Amino acid sequence: MPAPACSVEAAISPSPGGSFVSDSYFPALEADSLFLSSATNASSAAAAAVSHWSPALSAALYKIDGWGAPYFTVNSSGSISVRPYGADTLSHQEIDLVKVVKKASDPKSTGGLGLQLPLIVRFPDVLKNRLESLQSAFEYAVQSHCYEGHYQGVYPVKCNQDRFVVEDIVKFGAPFRFGLETGSKPELLLAMSCLCNGSPDALLVCNGFKDCEYISLALLARKLCLNTVIVLEQEEEVDLVIDISKKMGVRPVIGVRAKLRTKHSGHFGSTSGEKGKFGLTTTQILRVVKKLGVSGMLDCLQLLHFHIGSQIPSTALLADGVGEAAQIYCELVRLGACMKVIDIGGGLGIDYDGSKSANSDVSVGYTLQEYASAVVEAVRFVCTSKGIKHPVLCSESGRAIVSHHSILIFEAVSATSHETTPQVPSPGLQYFVESLTVEGRADYRNLYSAAIRGENETCLLFADKLKQRCVDQFKEGSLGIEQLAAVDGFCEFVSKAIGAYDPVHTYHINLSIFTSIPDFWAIGQLFPIVPIHRLDEKPVVKGILSDLTCDSDGKINKFIGGVSSLLLHQLEGNCGGRGYYLGMFLGGAYEQALGGFHNLFGGPSVVHVLQSDGLHSFAVTRAVPGQSSADVLRVMQHEPELMFETLKHRVEEFLPQDHDNGMTNASLANCLAQYFNNMPYLVATSSCCLTANNGYYYCNDDEPFSAAGEDEQWTTNCVA
């Protein structure tokens, strides 16, 4: 198979009149029409495949119908549509995500909101549907299993402490007494405030390590007629509760967190089992019961809490853990406690990859209904067999409630690869070969011979050896950079010619992974990432994602499905004047709270979108610009106002007035203020505050500015 040799000849041409190499090395090479014909046929077949692509094929490729059901689908235009009411969404109620991005990012002068990407799009309708679906699943399980108690959940605010998320959950959950769970004093303060507008029967579950302030605040919440439960995480906390409650004259409601023997073996199982971070052993629980009895407060012990671990993979593990906890609950009743509630904690998982697998950290092998049924049946069986009244069932299913409602949108601004083959400079390939060592020339001859014989693996072996020898020569200083580039191109073309070349492009995204997708960097958590448009076109480029930070970890090279690259579309002319937009889905839990400020990139812009009867079926009800450069500087204790004044004085001191070219000190100061007030992310060239002209820079004064950067958040009620 002489194809590689002829292809190399086409890629790296000798100087005019020269041969490939001297006759003492190789015979002359001729073009291989078979190879060229095969390449042409392959290109034609690929073009035909692209032309027959459809949105349904994209949905299958990216597994959207798996992880996205019932909230996300691909519409006939090739864009992602959001179904705000899940399976009950009518076709005219679907929201085209690209139209939302256009509304948010278009300039105000054209009817947009003028927000800069990256952008978080929140759908409160989806949040409400998730909450109602969870409640409905437990209500159905209670009824079908003849359970004599009821379900009453709480939302753990640590999953997403955003004010509007928490307030919406309290509002949406009020009809079924849905409450909140906290793990710190600030979380308790926000929960107390929000629950003042919620159901009076909603639980306020206080978890986490506690000091006297935390316990005093929880008891104050009890005085304010909030249904507060102090859950003991450590044995010594019972002494504080007994002492402080007597001093404040408040009769507390107490819970205990039990360390179960049941252990979750997956990545998230480290918080479960006997060696888990939180909870009391059976021995410690018995001592707590004794102390409460001596203090005349055993009737205050009313709740049992436990946590098997996040992302519980199967209902078998779930039923085992819940059954063990139900036995402890019954024993506490036997010992005289006035038990009323079993809090099963978190663990209701999300199917991030659509595989519905019970053997994966990014999937689960059950439905929402199967989860609820497993919990209800496990508690019912134990309590009925022991003759114990069925308790109220509580869960802390934060991930399952908030993950779906939030989508992170970001733009790929460029893509790079090593696919372009460099040309050997004059006097051509002969000069290049003659510059090699004796061993390098031998590798070159062996590579040619293997290509003639059609031995592809041997061909690759000698290509790699040749490349390494050239690298060694370059390090020694005996080979120039042009020759090193030539051998790179030569070896890549050999790989391509024999079908072993499979380039992966790097797509540069206008995002900080450390800020917006921290769980990927920290624990390798995978999220569905897909283009939100052009899904009626076949994606033909294998790509990985590289962010803006100056950090080698700022890349995404692992994706759902166990692949190390993602099929993407080519960036062609910036997609007809608009960007190439990607979406990270199912990231509504934890990512915003855990994000940092690496390289001082701040949080994204945020819009809240409700379904409406308008032209495009949605209304933007709230829009918040992302953190400005001034905002992130303040986080690190800098003072942007003083920094601005310092730079303004510097302008006045070192730059002369140039009224003829419009470069006044005032205009430059104006531009500096805009830099402080703008987001740290990349902007289009046309949006730059300073533009070059004949070596000078001029300020674009079209946009107002504020040196302090205050009052940047605003609210809108615009219908698209």
Catalytically annotated residues: 550
Structure tokens, 536: 């009626």
Query: What does the angle CA 463 – CA 467 – CA 469 come to, to the nearest 5 degrees?
Result: 120
Count CB-CB contacts under 10 A for residue 290: 13
In terms of C-beta density within 10 A (0-12 exposed, 13-18 middle, 19 or more buried), how is residue 656 classed?
Answer: exposed
Q: Is the dihedral of CA 238, 240, 246, 251 positive or negative?
A: negative
Indicate if the alpha-carbon torsion angle 676, 677, 679, 685 is positive or negative: negative
Beta strands in 505-590 (DSSP E): 505-509, 529-531, 541-546, 555-556, 566-568, 580-584
22: Cβ contacts below 8 Å, ≥ 6 apart: 430
Cβ–Cβ < 8 Å for 416, 505: yes
Instruction: Please report where in the chains the tokens 């090739």 appear, as a residue.
Output: 78
Q: Tokens representing 51?
A: 């032309």
**Nearest to residue 380, comparing CAs of 433, 424, 313, 330?**
330
How far apart, in whole angstroms, are the C-alpha atoms of residue 613 and residue 121?
19
Quote the CA–CA distance of 343 and 329 in Å, as a whole number: 10
What is the C-alpha to C-alpha distance for residues 515 and 680, in angstroms, rounded to an integer? 12
Spatial CB neighbours of 242, under 8 Å, sequence gap ≥ 6: 291, 292, 295, 297
383 dihedral zone (left: phi>0; alpha: psi -120 to 50; beta): alpha
CA 516/CA 584 separation, integer angstroms: 10
Long-range contact pairs involving 42-45 (C-beta distance under 8 Å, separation at least 24): none
Specify the DSSP element, H or E, that contains 255: strand 254-257
Cis preceding linkage at 14, omega within 30: no
Q: List the structure tokens of 567.
A: 């099929």
The residues, any chain, with a CB within 8 Å of residue 196's CB and separated by 6 or more, are: 224, 226
- If phi > 0 it is left, if psi is from -120 to 50 it is alpha, else beta; for residue 494 that is alpha
Sign of CA dihedral 212, 215, 218, 223: negative
Q: What is the residue type of 640?
A: P
CB 668 within 8 A of CB 650: no
Q: How far apart are the C-alpha atoms of 493 and 489, rounded to whole Å?
A: 6
- Using DSSP's 3-state secondary structure scheme, residue 607 falls into strand
- How many alpha carbons fall within 13 Å on the CB side of residue 101? 25
Both tokens of 116, joined, read 């800069």
| CA gap 237, 107 in Å, rounded | 55
Q: Within the chain, how many helices (H) and strands (E) appear?
A: 25, 24
